Amino acid sequence: MLNKKSVDDINVAGKKVLVRCDFNVPLKDGQITDENRLVAALPTIKKLISDGGKVILCSHLGKPKGEPKPELSLAPVAVRLSELLGQEVKFAADDNVVGDNAKAAVAAMKDGEVVLLQNTRYRAEETKNGEAFSKDLASLCDVFVNDAFGTAHRAHCSNVGVTEYVDTAVVGYLMQKEIDFLGNAVNNPERPMVAILGGAKVADKLKVIDNLLEKCDTLIIGGGMAYTFLKAQGLEVGKSLVDDEKIDYCKEMMAKAEKLGKNLYLPIDTTVADGFPNPIDAEIEVSVVAANAIPADKEGLDIGPATCEKFAEAVKTAKTVVWNGPMGVFENPILAKGTIAVAQALADTDATTIIGGGDSAAAVNQLGFADKMTHISTGGGASLEFLEGKDLPGVVAANDK
């Protein structure tokens, strides 16, 4: 059970507060095309403003690889944040992030004002957790707040290094929510707990499968990774995606499920085609076959209707459901039926439903089910590592209660 101090546990009146946000938003021609991450950061920022803190925001954007790249400047974020907050967010445009502009802007701040620093990854030390940059960031503030779950699995200057030089380091509301749902729902779930894993490769989810088998009551496996499990059962999977090096691992996991008395559900039918759609959303001819009757010249690209029903049935009796990874090639309307069926089953249940970032979050958002889920994680890699049971450096670095 993680018990970290949050913004509700501190008094920031008159203090300079550095907040690590996740403003890694998609930009096209200098315009923000999806502002979910900005909106998600507002509750923490507004709380610190209303408490009379001097709020200094920082974030990375894209991968500038340690040098200034004008197209990855956070300037558009400052403009949009000003509109969303209804007050000016002053942008400190220093290529070295903590430069003359930033120092002057912070020195001139009044309580409740907001400054945004330049892209933290303009500095090469950021991703190496270098001491000099951590000290520069710490020199601007009295208090540090980490609200960027998306980078919590990385130890960088702006989320971990800085905490070594600041007395008070707490988590923001977004981060708190991730700890509450992802961390605690997995470690202390209301039962029965069902975990649904999809996506392409078994290799990406090795530790997740292992960890969730110990925590959940039922583990459902769909997506491309299911075919490696089917092959491990000795079935013909045709041209479907298979992780040949992981067949023994799949056998071990099936044996482990049996030994622990857990349900491990695999597809009972599958949607097949002659090959992968190219382009990905191209019209494609498909047929449905039983999972034990995949023709040698066909490729499985989605779960079939009987599997959709079986998976949905398992969700109905659950009290906690964690989902990570689509059930098929959901970017193609013809091959999105399995993912839609799972999303619909989660939308219809009263259980606590947690979507672990990445493709499943994208699928739920695209399909219009976002408001029906209890929690959609903001971190892809971070949520996977949380589900693996790993300690995340960005979370660990905050002060304990």
Residue numbers annotated as active site: 37, 201, 358, 381
Handedness of CA 264, 269, 274, 276 (dihedral sign): negative
The response to whether 24 counts as a known ligand-binding position is yes
The response to whether 357 counts as a known ligand-binding position is yes
Cβ-count burial of 236 within 10 angstroms (0-12 exposed, 13-18 middle, 19+ buried)? middle
Strands in 193-305 per DSSP E: 193-197, 218-221, 263-265, 269-273, 287-290, 299-303
The response to whether 131 counts as a known ligand-binding position is no
Q: Are 326 and 302 in contact (CB under 8 A)?
A: no
The response to whether 22 counts as a known ligand-binding position is yes
| Beta pairing, strands 218-221 & 193-197 | parallel
- Helix axis angle, 36-50 to 75-85, nearest 10°: 60
d(CA 281, CA 283): 7
The response to whether 360 counts as a known ligand-binding position is yes
The response to whether 331 counts as a known ligand-binding position is yes
The response to whether 15 counts as a known ligand-binding position is no
**DSSP-based three-state secondary structure for 251:** helix
Residues in the chain: 401
Q: Are 144 and 169 in contact (CB under 8 A)?
A: yes
The response to whether 60 counts as a known ligand-binding position is yes
The response to whether 121 counts as a known ligand-binding position is yes
The response to whether 62 counts as a known ligand-binding position is yes
The response to whether 153 counts as a known ligand-binding position is no
**Can you list the alpha helix ranges (DSSP code H) found in 108-205?**
131-139, 173-178, 184-187
Binding residues: 22-24, 37, 60-63, 121, 154, 205, 300, 331, 357-360
Binding site for ATP, residues? 205, 300, 331, 357-360
The annotation places the binding site for (2R)-3-phosphoglycerate at 37, 121, 154
